[in-house]
Structure 1
Amino acid sequence: MSLNDIAQPSTARNLPSLLADLHARNSSCTIAVSGTPGGTIHVRDGLVVAMETPGAPGVEAILLKSRRLTEEAWTSVRATDTTHEHLARELVAQGLLGAGELEVVSLGALFDAAFALSLNRQTGWEVTDPVPVLYAGTGVPPERLVTETTRRFGMLTKEPGSIARDARDRVHPTYPADPPESAARLSPRHRDLLAATDGRRTPRDLAFTLGRGLFAVLLDLRHLLELRLVRYAAPAGTARPSTAPRTPGTDAPAPRSAPATAELPRRLPRRTGQQAASDSPEHTS
């Protein structure tokens, strides 16, 4: 199916509407979503197979930071497939990951990216031809994506806008030195999260540091908040980005998501791949 057959702005009122139309048409394409932080949605035969956004760790970051995969192994496999077209198959074929494990990680990263995108205001989209991406499994229909995102918001919602605000605020420990005795009774994942909380990192930074999903981090932070072990604090100056490193011992800054709402995109201009090429020769999907 050519891009000319894909939903026009008049029929796609918003992003869920576009995905539903692509699903009905059994289309394959890539959607570049603009905004802060924006992202990329990969559709194959009408199903959403992957999403990428700076707002949440992707499959690669999760595999490496969680130490399911070593840097050496990733580099070796990556060299065999620079386009990611067959990367998932190579990871399984070389015995580095089980097919089931990779599918679970891929699906989790997809749902987490959808959640992260929904936290921020987007400004539009561009539909292009499909581009290769690392994913495992057959993908999910758009309605399942919406249902799962809604469920996650329901589990976290305290007041309008609170989730988006928490996701961009820095997390501080509430104790000056050693953790209190209550911290010793925490699960290992809660202890790891508490140890990474240094007053500089946002939940997004913590997710990248630990190789965990943003939603999972926010959910565990709520538990630490209830125990009064951490607190949220907005950085001084609303326009100043977070300078927290994604991993311990590095000075590389991790940009922070700008203030946003949990709404999905509403104003959604579209250009075909041919139009995009003529407008900007340097444009890439």
Structure 2
Amino acid sequence: MTTGALAGPGRPAAAEPWRLSALGRESARELVQELAQAAVTTRTGVLRVTGDPGGDLHVVHGLVVTVDSPGAPGVRELLARPGRICTGVADLRVVATMAAVDGCFAIASGWIGSCFWQDLPVDATDPEAMAGPRVVLPPVPGVEPGWLLLETDRRLSALGHGRVSPHRNHLLLTERGRALLSTPGSGRRREILLWANGRRSCRDIAKLLCRSLYAVTVEVVRMLDDDLLGIAPVVAEPPPEPIEPPRPGRSLLPRRRRGASGINDTLPPCPPVPAPRGQRALTPRRTERTQ
């Protein structure tokens, strides 16, 4: 198939799978081809991408309206960032576009398994209804798959030398990072340093800060180069101890040993009773004691 139909007035034709360097790998090729075909056929549905983190691309008439991925903050999270002020409909549309691009970057920067389509219900073709009941967004025009793929490929290529995975690597503080954290006014780097404890990745920190995953990853790469952060070593979990199977013919119940209860150590033995006149006295039996 070809994807030349993605090119139009003011749009480059570089969205072809073989022209995308970072997205040209085998795992992402299916995602690129499915989005390209959706643009040609003006398809409506949800392109579900399995993997880690994976995600869903909501497509309406060939345009990508929203991208939901557990690997990146969504529209609600980006709008909930402290200090952010929404200026109106245009600002909401910009945030929705940013969330779609960031979600696609999160999917492509992780492990991609496979892709499959799921049809949308009739009322879900309305972008406003797809935004969810909590935050009512204005109708989002959507982004073209060709532009979305180009932007995702550009971000992946920019971070190709970054030696950090947004999802797998956990970040920890270095000595320089601790020193910078102790000084007041470190800006946006400070909020990243506050959450770097050796158990959080770029993805975790981006969600905690309600910031774009790509923006956090770019800043983390710079902080790694400045020796403010380090990558925590991967600790291998010890293998579970093997359970020895029971031997054949051996009872699983414990055996009872005479005197093991210790009753003879607790209660003194009864004194001997004198025998009636004319009868021989019985010799008292020696009491068994537990060793």
Q: TM-score range by the shorter chain?
A: 0.5 to 0.7
Q: Which of residues 80, 84, 87 in structure 2 aligns to 1:64?
A: 80
Q: 1:167 aligned to 2:164?
A: no
- Give the aligned partner of residue 47 of structure 1: 63
Cα distance 1:142–1:208, how it changes in 2: closer, same or farther (>3 A)? same
- Aligned AA for 2:130? V
After superposition, the CA RMSD in angstroms is 2.8
Q: Alpha-carbon deviation of 1:227? A: 1.9
Deviations 1:165-209 (A, max 9, x none): x531111111299523896574x2222222222222111110000
Q: Aligned residues, how many?
A: 197
Which residue in 1 is equivalent to 2:150?
147
Checking the alignment, whether the CA contact within 8 Å between 1:31 and 1:40 is kept in structure 2 is yes
Corresponding residue to 1:14 among 7, 30, 55: 30
Does residue 31 of structure 1 match 2:47? yes
Aligned residue for 2:130, secondary structure, equals coil
Equivalent AA in structure 2 for residue 133 of structure 1: M
Q: Residues 103-252 of structure 1: matches in 2 within 5 Å?
A: 103-130=93-120, 131=124, 132-134=129-131, 137-158=140-161, 162-164=163-165, 167-175=167-175, 178-180=178-180, 186=186, 188-237=187-236
User: What is the deviation of 1:27?
Assistant: 1.9
1:45 maps to a residue whose letter is H
Unpaired runs of at least 5, structure 1 = 1-12, 70-95, 240-285
Aligned CA distance change for structure 1 residues 181 and 238 (closer, same or farther; 3 Å): closer
**Percent of aligned pairs with the same residue?**
31
Alpha-carbon distance change, 122 to 202 in structure 1, aligned in 2, over 3 angstroms: same
Secondary structure of the structure 1 residue equivalent to 2:175: coil
Higher relative contact order (CA 8 A, sep 6+): 1
2:58 and 2:65 in contact (8 A); partners too: yes
**What is the TM-score normalised by the length of structure 1?**
0.61
Offset of residue 97 of structure 1: 5.6
Query: CA 1:207–1:238 in 2, change beyond 3 Å: closer, same or farther?
Result: farther
* Max Rg structure: 2
Q: Secondary structure at the match of 2:117?
A: strand
Distance 1:163 1:224, change over 3 A: closer
Matched residue SS, 2:216: helix
What is the 5 A alignment of 1:261-272?
Answer: none
Please give the per-residue CA displacement for 1:235-284, whole angstroms capped at 9, x wherever unaligned.
31389xxxxxxxxxxxxxxxxxxxxxxxxxxxxxxxxxxxxxxxxxxxxx
Contact 1:65 1:208 in 2 (8 A): no
CA distance in 2, matches of 1:181, 1:233: 18
Q: CA deviation at 1:67?
A: 5.6
Judging by fraction of residues, say which structure has more helix.
1
Contact 1:167 1:218 in 2 (8 A): no
Question: SS of 1:139's equivalent?
Answer: coil
Partner SS state of residue 167, structure 1: coil
How far apart are 1:121 and its partner, in Å?
2.5
3-state SS of paired residue (1:127): strand
CA contact (8 A) 2:202 2:213 kept: yes
